[in-house]
Amino acid sequence: MLRDRYGRTIEYLRLSVTDRCDLRCTYCMPTGFKGFEEPEDWLTFDEIERLLRAFARLGTRRIRLTGGEPLLRRHVTDLAGRIAAIPGVDDLSLSTNATTLRRHAEALRKAGVARINVSLDTLDRQCMESITGRDSHARILDGIMAGKEAGFDPIKINMVAMRGVNDGEIERMAEFCIGHGFVLRLIEVMPMGATGRNAAYMDLRPVRTRLQEQFDLVPQALELGGGPARYLATRDGRSSIGFITPLSQHFCATCNRVRLSVDGTLYLCLGQEEKFEFRPLLRGGASDAELEAAIRHAIELKPHQHDFTARPEKIVRFMSQTGG
């Protein structure tokens, strides 16, 4: 097992397969940004598979495909199939904005992706266009339903709650998710780069109390994917609402994940600068034993906790560069 210097078991890797996206969510990517990684600097599928096999040998069993928007990477379903076949990987999931999920849902499910998370910050078409910079409302909702038809379970809806932007829609989103049997996850915006710092932060603790009373929710102990959300469930068990609160109630003490960007950089924490670059090793002839030693060394760099509260200006990279 991989354990960091604070005794946390690291068994969850979030793999960014592209830093590109067809949307421009205001808290994620700056308007007009063009500084994307060049394709020759992306890890190839062979490099990704080799590195993930090394992680799996060391105990990593959960992999999530992220971006940017991962469905923009050509042949990503082939990559999903290769990852699902790695011994030791028993949970493969995908985060997506669902704009093209209708086209890929069946193939992803057959490739071995078991669960999907969909970014959906609003059900209002105009608000969605304001947040994403695109008229994406119909395609996203159609993609979510395609995921449901393909048999993904659970489907998690990720809603970044922003004061004065979409906070008036939280109850409506809860009703939508409960009605369809989806898992709603409300997320506090993180001050990553100028995009995150300029977003209207909202403390989710009062929201949790309000929703618990309004929808007669009960605490849920069941783990839903190994992530940081704290869940409440409907009494019939058909749906859950999770709260991801990196600022108001951080979960650093139980953090079990690291993030690998499209260029092979491993980020150990969203709110710190520690990182390790694997691409030079992969392209420099490193042996499997050297890769495993490098992974162990990288995990030792994982910091105790983020600095979002004390030093929100510290992280200049934004979310799409890091990987979701």
Integer Cα distance of 45 and 28 in angstroms:
26
269 assigned to a ligand binding site: yes
177 in a labelled binding site:
no
Q: Which two tokens stand for residue 314?
A: 């510290």
- The answer to the question of whether 192 is labelled as a binding residue is no
Q: Please name the helix (run of DSSP H) or strand (run of DSSP E) that holds residue 212, with its range, or none.
A: helix 205-214
Q: Is 14 annotated as a binding residue?
A: yes
Of the candidates 122, 97, 103, the residue with the CA atom closest to the CA atom of residue 20: 97
Is 231 annotated in some ligand binding site? Answer: no
Residue 95 labelled as part of a binding site: yes
DSSP 133-172: SS--HHHHHHHHHHHHHHT-SSEEEEEEE-TTTTGGGHHH
- How many whole angstroms from its chain centre is CA 33? 21
- Annotation-wise, does 68 bind a ligand? yes
Q: Any binding-site annotation on 316?
A: no
Name the strand (E) or helix (H) holding 15: strand 12-16
Is 16 among the annotated ligand-binding positions? no
Residue 127 is labelled as binding a ligand: no
255 labelled ligand-binding: yes
27 in a known ligand binding site: yes
53 Cα distance to chain centroid: 21
**Is residue 185 marked as binding?**
no
Annotated binding-site ranges for S-adenosyl-L-methionine: 27, 68, 119, 190
Annotated binding residues for [4Fe-4S] cluster, as ranges?
A: 21, 25, 28, 252, 255, 269
The annotation places the binding site at 14, 21, 25, 27-28, 64, 68, 95, 119, 156, 190, 252, 255, 257-259, 269
Q: Which residues contribute to the annotated binding site for GTP?
A: 14, 64, 95, 156, 257-259
